[in-house]
Amino acid sequence: MARKALKAKEPVRLREKKLANGSTSLYLDTYDHTTGKRQYEFLKLYLIPENTPGAKAQNANTIAAANKIKAQRVIEYTSGGAGIIHTRAKMALSDLMARYAEKKRQAERGGKNAAVIKCVLKHLERYCPGAVLGKVDRDFCEGFLRYLKTAQNPHGGKLAKSTQSEYYCKFTSALRWAESEGWIKANPATKADKELRPEPTESRREFLTVEEVKRLMATPCKSEAVKKAYLFSCFSGLRFSDIVTLTWANVKDRDGHRWIEKVMQKTQRNVSVPLQREAVSVMPSRESGADEGRIFNLPSLVYTNEVLRRWAAAAGIKKHLSFHTARHTFATLGLTAGADLYTVSRLLGHTNVTTTQIYAKIVDRKKEEAVSLLGGLFNE
């Protein structure tokens, strides 16, 4: 009996993954025959339900784009010998940061994160000009941390600790992205000495009180869209990047309650948020159209922040309004009302509950201040 010929496995295969919002994510599955290891590269390309005449054509174009990337990866694999990781390791670190900045720019409005990443790129070029991705290790990361402690800002002074922390976070996020794309085997920043990492001050986590939120609700705003979106953030805890990309397909009704189900832009993690009555009340009415239609049509982040500044002034609020402030408001009000730390952490989509504990400390401090005020009544 003739033995059946063995068919060699494809080194790179295009695969699909169903998402909660009904779309399908395309990714590449690469098998390295020399090491027996697999790598997964999510292409940030999505197939949509073919409910409209143009959807089928759009999906065909998306698959064609994915196959083009696949063909390039096959070339890289066969020419590199050791696989994609080997060839990508020669990528200039500046090229990685530039690609990451562009990725962020396309994923958000306003381009704030992209602008910060470009600042990080300038400091990386000063720290180690011409560095390549494959040479970035623990020593490199710790050296960059030490550099940031002495680096100067455009005005000639030292970088603030909060700025150092933000720059290093963007650097490690870029490396984490490189790891997820299969360009490096592991993120070396995770091995850096934690004692060298600057910590942002808790005072930056400004939030609004219930009274201040009520004053905003009663105060007219130059942009009704910005007002509704900001209040929605206060009542849901969603970031600006998630609100501007929120579509009606993300809205689900369960047992008479409305939920938001979405992949968060920052972490790429799924989050499910039940909407309280106040959050639903500030949502704009749905107009006829596809599920992919945006719920909040907002201007750029720069202009949005200017609108928020004027709105706060009109309401007599001296605090700096931003969508970070709205998110902090949701967290602190939830904990103050008695919600447990783990639940709030899940609602915010935090990857680690220790991040949420910062809000718990703020709430505890407010409780201590309240008790002190009560005690003072009997000392007069």
Is the CA virtual torsion 69, 74, 79, 80 positive or negative?
positive
pLDDT of residue 292: 75
State how far the Cα of 231 lies from the Cα of 277, in Å rounded to an integer.
12
pLDDT of residue 378: 47
Domains of the chain: 12-88 (no CATH), 93-200 (1.10.150), 205-376 (1.10.443.10)
CB 125 within 8 A of CB 118: no
Q: Which residue numbers in the chain have pLDDT < 50?
A: 1, 3-8, 80-87, 202-203, 371, 373-375, 377-378
Beta-strand pair 37-47/257-263 = unpaired
Q: Which residue has the tokens 């004692």?
A: 195
pLDDT of residue 377: 46
pLDDT of residue 28: 87
Q: Which helix (H) or strand (E) covers residue 25, if one does?
A: strand 24-32
pLDDT of residue 84: 40
Q: How far is CA 62 from the centre of its chain?
A: 24
pLDDT of residue 123: 94
Show contacts of 69-78: CB within 8 Å, 24+ apart.
69/28, 69/43, 70/12, 70/13, 70/14, 70/28, 73/12, 73/28, 73/30, 73/41, 74/11, 74/12, 77/11, 77/12, 77/30, 77/32, 78/11
pLDDT of residue 183: 83
CB 113 within 8 A of CB 170: yes
Token pair listed for 42: 């999510």
Q: Which helix (H) or strand (E) covers residue 261, if one does?
A: strand 257-263
Give the burial class of 176: count Cβ atoms within 10 A of its Cβ; 0-12 exposed, 13-18 middle, 19 or more buried. Answer: middle
State how far the Cα of 4 lies from the Cα of 354, in Å rounded to an integer.
56
